Structure 1
Amino acid sequence: MSNIVLVSGPPSSGKTTLVRHCLREYESDRFTLVWLKGLLHRGDVLALREIIRSMDLQRHMSSAHAGIDEMTESIKAALGRSKGDDTADPKYANIPKHDKPMIIVMDDFEHMVKRQQKKQHLLYNLLDLAHYNTVSMTLVAITSFQEIHTSLEKRLKSRFTQLRITMPYVSFDDMIKSLHNLMTLPQTSEVTSSQDSFESKWNQSITSLCTDRDLIDTLQHCHCLNNTFPYFFKLFTECLYQLDHTRMYLTKEMVMETIKRARITWMERVMTDMSLFEFTQLACILNLSRKHRDFPITSTSFSEVYDIEYRHFTTSFYKTSDMVNKSTYHAALQTLLKYKLIKKEGTNFGEFMQFHLTISDIEACTRVVKSRGDCPSSLQSYISTWLE
């Protein structure tokens, strides 16, 4: 009996974790597991070699560099596909029967589909095998691409009759609950359930962190930047390195400091990857905002940045009166909005748009200027005046 299972959902929603958890429910010596990764096994040959290795069929190959057809027919013969089949090639009669059920997991399935040869031979042969009653094999495809069917060749769609499991989007509240559950220590005895026990005090500290309003607001902002659970989990686990015999419990200050370091690293990476023009606009907004008393919460407008600060930069530092048009400038601001480096205020758009900075670390900007090799001397001079 064979099955085809498709597990889909947003990135970091727990698809691979779910499959691994299900596999742990069975004794590992009762089945043969082949785990293919779309980014690693990006072609038929690499994927077939991994299957051959998992089935311990290497010594039955004519050479270490056996072709696709030989490996495919050997797998079919070992799984019993050739039994009673008039089309079976006699030269594969010496292939031993594989007596365990096969589970083939295809992680990052979308990459396997995209990188397969035009006729997708590997997928076709695997799906073909899964429909034989004499073959005990399960195919599990894991993908972040919801409409994976659109990438399949026509002859594969008819064979891809699968059980579909769709993982839901993990909300911010769900992440906080999951973090609380993961970080809480079990209390299984009367001794550990005492209010003075380490476990009890630890759990109280975790509960306090997960209900602190200021910390929740900060984490919610981080969620806008990176909404994957591993990112959140890493923030908390990095705090554990700060614990010692004098600091035995996590505190709000520890978590906030870790978040601050993580955000600086994230911001510098974003500023390094954005285009030079977008980075210039961010520099103009930073410089304009820092002149105000309530920096960095200063509210500013599109026209104020474009007509005043950007014009000042082009004429005083770039030594030209030529400025990009407003539509190009507005497109750069949309990128800054997407990266959450600025936050829009009100409902106005275009030249009337109001916004304020979400970052205040000027030194991070200066570090990026030094690390970027494409920054002209005019921009370096402009930013260096901030620290004078």
Structure 2
Amino acid sequence: MSKRKMKNAHLPVGECITQVQKIFRERLCHQQLPDRPEGVEAQHKHVLELLKRTAVHGESNSVLIVGPRGAGKTMLLKCVLRDLQEEKEVQQNLLQVHLNGLLQTDDRIALKEITRQLHLENVVGDKVFGSFAENLAFLLEALKKGDRSSSRPVLFVLDEFDLFAHHKNQTLLYNLFDISQSAQAPIAVVGLTCRLDVLELLEKRVKSRFSHRQIHLLSNLTFPQYLERLRTQLTLPDDFPDDGFAQDWNASVKTLCEDKSVEDVLQRHFNSSKDFRSMHMLLMLCLSRVSAAKPAIKPADLLEASRLCFTDAVANMLHGLSILELCLIIAMKHLNDVYEGEPFNFQMVHNEFKKFLQRKSNSMYNFDPPVIMKAFEHLQQLELIRPVDSAAAKTQREYQLMRLMLDHSQIMEALQKYPQCPTDVKQWAMSAFG
């Protein structure tokens, strides 16, 4: 069948929805790279030229890409590396080592990871090195080409760069910057960080070997651009198999983006975070509600997805508590109201709970003290309450001073949503004092 016939074919709605889910999972979950990065063209050109000089001419460089979370630092670097691999003279020549400050927490782990990513485990074998510098120099020496005159260029990407500054003596950074400054081997060191004061964290000897080249990414995204990005993310491509379905879908997306209630929700998301990843999460929650019976995203889907995104995780935990644990939380709330936020202990909570029981002849809330103590300890494990200070551990358990980590509104909201919450417990919570 020709492409034109395929494109104009009328597929069953279920098949179209499957295709839609596949396209958007690829686009939103796998962080598909844009054809060209928007708004950071100058920075893209700068980093590309810098790495090309290392890959083609063997010129060593070091650079820091600085910007807030979600500004597009990783996306920028990935676009540069993709474009770099398309250059004929670069293909199969540039080696890459990706390290992350959250994973490689000390120099020994970092060195093992460098060895693994360069596939030099067999070369290193059981060799014993006198120092970190000696080990790194040996690894780079092993990358020399057959004629031993020139070494293959290596790109070191250090994500969460500021965390590497906390390594002992900053040995890894010192050696990488030292090699990039001398002519030992062609390497490029690219650091990604959110901290603007990152250079202040570097030791004097490390700072003196760094090129002091910094590229700043600042999010200057406006709300209309954010809205347009959302529309393009939800638009089906021209090569979608069913042309009629694609046109209907794209028309519904256009209508959705013009809806006032949707605009208000998106404005709230935009104000809280300009990070596209949070937008992608919102869109995936909307798409999960699309089905053959409802083959379009409605404003109600986006409102529900937004509600899920902004759900209070701590208040959600209250829905899973037992009635006894919920009663203890209410007793603590009343103690907070009476004593204006002063700390409390188990004995005070138990007494408050007993006052409630005395007003109710219902025996369903009669628990033994050890059971109540167990429930109290469970609330501490969930971090809904916590000790006032660490010295409290020496105090008898019943008299350790605690603080409630929930506010009044969180407790009341959770009570409204608690499944089959007894009426008398709700009334007790709503009463002015216990």
TM-score bracket for this pair, using the shorter chain length: 0.5 to 0.7
User: CA-to-partner distance for each residue in 1:75-109, whole Å, 9 max, x for gaps?
Assistant: 343356xx9xxxxxxxxxx9x78843211100011
Q: Is the 1:36–1:47 contact (alpha carbons within 8 Å) kept by the matching residues of 2?
A: yes
Please point out which of 124, 131, 138 is paired with 1:61: 124
**SS of the residue aligned with 1:232?**
helix
1:202: which partner in 2? Answer: 249
2:113: which partner in 1? Answer: 50
Structure 1 residues 70 and 133: alpha-carbon distance in aligned structure 2, compared to 1, 3 A threshold: closer
Structure 1 residues 210 and 361: alpha-carbon distance in aligned structure 2, compared to 1, 3 A threshold: farther
Measure the CA separation in 1 of the matches of 2:156 and 2:236.
35
Matches within 5 A, 1:90-239: 99-114=151-166, 116-117=167-168, 119-133=169-183, 135-169=185-219, 171=221, 173=223, 174-187=225-238, 197-239=244-286
Q: Is the 2:66–2:216 contact (alpha carbons within 8 Å) kept by the matching residues of 1?
A: yes
1:347: which partner in 2? Answer: none
Measure the CA separation in 2 of the matches of 1:14 and 1:144.
11
Measure the CA separation in 1 of the matches of 2:411 and 2:341.
27
Measure the CA separation in 2 of the matches of 1:271 and 1:171.
38
Equivalent residue letter for 2:111: L
Stretch of structure 1 that moved more, 9-18 or 206-215: 206-215
**SS of the residue aligned with 1:34?**
strand
Please point out which of 336, 340, 346 is paired with 1:323: 340
User: CA-to-partner distance for each residue in 1:264-285, whole Å, 9 max, x for gaps?
Assistant: 245737999xxxxxxxxxx99x
Shift of 1:170: 5.2
2:69: which partner in 1? Answer: 11
TM-score of the pair, normalised by structure 1: 0.63
Structure 1 residues 250 and 365: alpha-carbon distance in aligned structure 2, compared to 1, 3 A threshold: same
Equivalent residue letter for 1:212: D
1:39: which partner in 2? Answer: 102
**SS of the residue aligned with 2:266?**
helix
1:88: which partner in 2? Answer: none
User: CA-to-partner distance for each residue in 1:221-245, whole Å, 9 max, x for gaps?
Assistant: 2344444321121111121121122
Equivalent residue letter for 2:139: I
User: CA-to-partner distance for each residue in 1:44-69, whole Å, 9 max, x for gaps?
Assistant: 11111111222222222252886635
Equivalent residue letter for 1:254: D
Measure the CA separation in 2 of the matches of 1:112 and 1:367.
45
Stretch of structure 1 that moved more, 236-245 or 102-111: 236-245
**SS of the residue aligned with 1:145?**
coil
Q: Which runs of 5+ in 2 are unaligned?
A: 1-58, 86-90, 320-328, 343-406, 419-424
Shift of 1:324: 5.6
Measure the CA separation in 2 of the matches of 1:134 and 1:206.
56
Structure 1 residues 199 and 235: alpha-carbon distance in aligned structure 2, compared to 1, 3 A threshold: same
Q: Is the 1:108–1:142 contact (alpha carbons within 8 Å) kept by the matching residues of 2?
A: yes
Q: Is the 1:79–1:97 contact (alpha carbons within 8 Å) kept by the matching residues of 2?
A: no
Query: RMSD over aligned Cα, in angstroms?
Result: 4.0
Q: Is the 2:107–2:171 contact (alpha carbons within 8 Å) kept by the matching residues of 1?
A: yes
Q: Is the 2:318–2:414 contact (alpha carbons within 8 Å) kept by the matching residues of 1?
A: no
**SS of the residue aligned with 1:12?**
coil
Percent identity over paired residues: 25
TM-score of the pair, normalised by structure 2: 0.57
Shift of 1:148: 0.8
Aligned residues: 287
2:301: which partner in 1? Answer: 254
Does residue 383 (structure 1) correspond to residue 429 (structure 2)? The answer is yes
Please point out which of 279, 291, 300 is paired with 1:244: 291
Q: Is the 2:94–2:154 contact (alpha carbons within 8 Å) kept by the matching residues of 1?
A: yes
Structure 1 residues 135 and 203: alpha-carbon distance in aligned structure 2, compared to 1, 3 A threshold: same
